[in-house]
A = this chain, B = another copy of it.
Amino acid sequence: MREVAVIGIGMTKWGELWEKSLRDIYVETALKAIDDSGVDHIDSMYIGSMSPGIFVGQEHIASLLADYLGYPHIPSTRVETACASGGLAMRLGLMEVASGMNDIVLVSGVEKMTDVGGDEATYALGTAADQEYECYHGVTFPGLYALIAVAHMHKYGTTRKQLAEVAVKNHKNGSKNPIAQFQFEVTVDDVLNSVKIADPLRILDCSPITDGSAAAIICPVEMARKMNKPVIKVIGSGHATDAIAISQRKDMTWLESTYRAAQSAYKMADKKPSDIDVFEAHDCFTIAELCVMEALGIVDKGKSGEAVEGGRTAVDGDIPVNPSGGLKSKGHPVGATGIAQIVEIVKQLRGEAEERQVEGARIGLTQNMGGSGASSVVHIFERE
């Protein structure tokens, strides 16, 4: 396998982008990544997108967006594994370059979620759960994660305040990220007093509905070395799945797909959790970030709540998680999230993360997750 590096990243402000269509948002972001990389063409492209069919009535976006981007004939592929679609786009691009099939590949994600009303958005997101065994019976994602939160609190003594601390930290980080959807801080009291969605989760425990895109350019490491910029190598990749219905899992507080994807990535990279300087994790709900930390092996089972409460996951902590603001504050256009995590890690490893820079970061990890954890994609990056 050929070694692969990230040579360009692109992202513009996320939010409720009423004035832009899916194609506008996508092209703006992809062109930014191409500009950042300095390449004069791309050979192929991958797009992670969860449900453009339901959100905007348009499938076949791989061809549509290649054409709108000005590359009307190159191979272009859309991949989907719910909210982990972006991470998966990166993994497939990595395999294409590693195989030698092509050299310069655009990996990207996009979702335009606000063209439908709230009910329809909830329905669209619900298609990532088991329709026959979960959604048809009335449970959607806030409900599923609420069940996970209750189980975690019961099993490990995790507190309501510890969940709130995840939101407080991520909003603090997001307030320093000029492309985040929500650039403001919240307090523990704000979270605890916000509207209840699915007990014990409140609105400030939940990531928002967002329009947005993110893009990166990858190529063989030997090609990247000839460019005048830091070489950010993709040294590990893992992808794993799990039962889609949480009732089918032995322990609903344990994310087996994240654990397995991480183990694959650590093995490929020959690294262990303590070697990682900075993490971007899939905090679609506050409880998700806690479960992810445990499955990644950053903390022991049941110890995530106290780690967050003790400040260990802050930008200046010993295990910084979500310096970008995470899904909670940066926003969560579902198919784009996995690539946005990579954009942040590349900024961190390049030393370009400004006020939210993790000092001296050389190795970073992204963890992107679909549904209530039925799919996970983990990547590890190292600055050469």
Which residues of A are at the interface with B, using a C-beta cutoff of 8 A? 1, 21, 50-51, 53-54, 56-60, 62-64, 66-67, 72-82, 88, 92, 95-96, 98-101, 123-124, 127-132, 135, 237, 239-244, 248, 256-257, 260, 370-371, 374-375
Copies held by the complex: 2
Q: Is the CB of A72 within 8 A of B241?
A: yes
Which of A92, A96, A99, A248 has the largest number of chain B CB atoms within 10 A? A99
Q: A75 to chain B: which residues have CB within 8 Å?
A: 239-241
Q: Determine how close the nearest CB of chain B comes to the CB of A322; give it in whole angstroms.
A: 23
Q: Is the CB of A80 within 8 A of B57?
A: no
Q: A80 to chain B: which residues have CB within 8 Å?
A: 59-60, 62, 78-80
Consensus secondary structure, chain A interface:
mixed
Q: Is the CB of B81 within 8 A of A77?
A: yes
Give Cα A166 to B124, complex, Å: 40
Give Cα A208 to B64, complex, Å: 25
Question: Given A77-B88, A77-B92, A127-B57, A63–B256 Cβ distance below 8 Å?
Answer: no
Q: Is the CB of A53 within 8 A of B242?
A: no
Given contacts A57-B123, A78-B79, A78-B81, 8 further A-B contacts (CB under 8 A): A53-B54, A59-B80, A59-B128, A60-B128, A62-B81, A67-B374, A77-B88, A77-B92
Which of A62, A66, A82, A101 has the largest number of chain B CB atoms within 10 A? A62
Which of A50, A75, A132, A257 has the largest number of chain B CB atoms within 10 A? A75
Q: Is the CB of B50 within 8 A of A59?
A: yes
Q: Is the CB of A244 within 8 A of B127?
A: no
